[in-house]
Amino acid sequence: FSTTDVTVVFFLGGPGSGKGTQSSNLVKDYGFVHLSAGDLLRAEQVRSGSQYGDLIREYIREGKIVPMEVTVALLSNAMADSLATSPPPAGTKARFLIDGFPRKLDQAVFFEETVCPSELVLFLDCPEDVMEARLLKRGETSGRDDDNAASIRKRFHTFVETSMPVVDDFKKKDKVVWVKADSSVEQVYGEIKAGIEARGL
């Protein structure tokens, strides 16, 4: 597909900051196509015949970042599929909300050079203790391999060491809408809306 036909917004934030929750709101009100890198990886992990199943399972449980060859292929295929099956109305661009990617600097560079540059980065800023409580609670029913205390600790470490530098880099380029994410779902969404509309999205 041609990058002139699409708008990409990266949606970043720590584990449990509310990316998935707020993505549903954004899809409803702004017509985004939501692509969660984590969801795509989990689907690939259980897809029969996938050569990456064991690798993905191990990386996710350890809170490590899956090699970009895998993730970028899943994302760009999902974008191409979406454009083929439900193309945007003539004269408009498809809007992709890419949730949970990129979480490593070289992956950001690689995606923007080989797939599509981002228009904007939406960042949810949430204290660790709040995120931890949310994830432990969700872990009672989510069935996610990484919603346990040990994996959560590793995810936080990777987030601070590896993923925050991506956000800081985009911030230097003035591409980040920065939203505090420890209040109610409704309050956070209100700030997200104000932030992206101020950017003309």
Question: Which residues contact residue 113 at a Cβ distance below 8 angstroms, ignoring those fewer than 6 apart?
Answer: none
Q: Which listed range, 12-20, 46-54, 118-126, 141-149, lies at the site for Mg ion (CB under 5 A)?
A: 12-20
Contacts to ligand UP5 from residues 161-190, by CB under 6 A: 184-185, 188
Phi, psi of 125 (to 5 degrees): -105, 110
Nearest CB to Mg ion, comparing residues 20 and 88:
20
Residue 42 within binding range of Mg ion, rule CB under 5 A: no
Residue 13 within binding range of ligand UP5, rule CB under 6 A: yes
Residue 139 within binding range of ligand UP5, rule CB under 6 A: no
User: Nearest distance from residue 40's CB to Mg ion, in Å?
Assistant: 11
Q: State the number of binding residues for ligand UP5 (CB under 6 A).
A: 29
Residue 60 within binding range of ligand UP5, rule CB under 6 A: yes
Task: Report in angstroms the alpha-carbon separations of 163 from 5, 73, 127, 188, 197.
Answer: 28, 20, 15, 21, 25
Residue 100 within binding range of ligand UP5, rule CB under 6 A: yes
Q: Please classify residue 16 by burial: count the beta carbons closer than 10 Å to its beta carbon, then call 0-12 exposed, 13-18 middle and 19+ buried.
A: buried
Point out which residues bind Mg ion (CB under 5 A).
19-20
Point out which residues bind ligand UP5 (CB under 6 A).
13, 15-21, 36-38, 41, 59-60, 63-66, 71, 100-101, 103, 134, 138, 146, 155, 184-185, 188
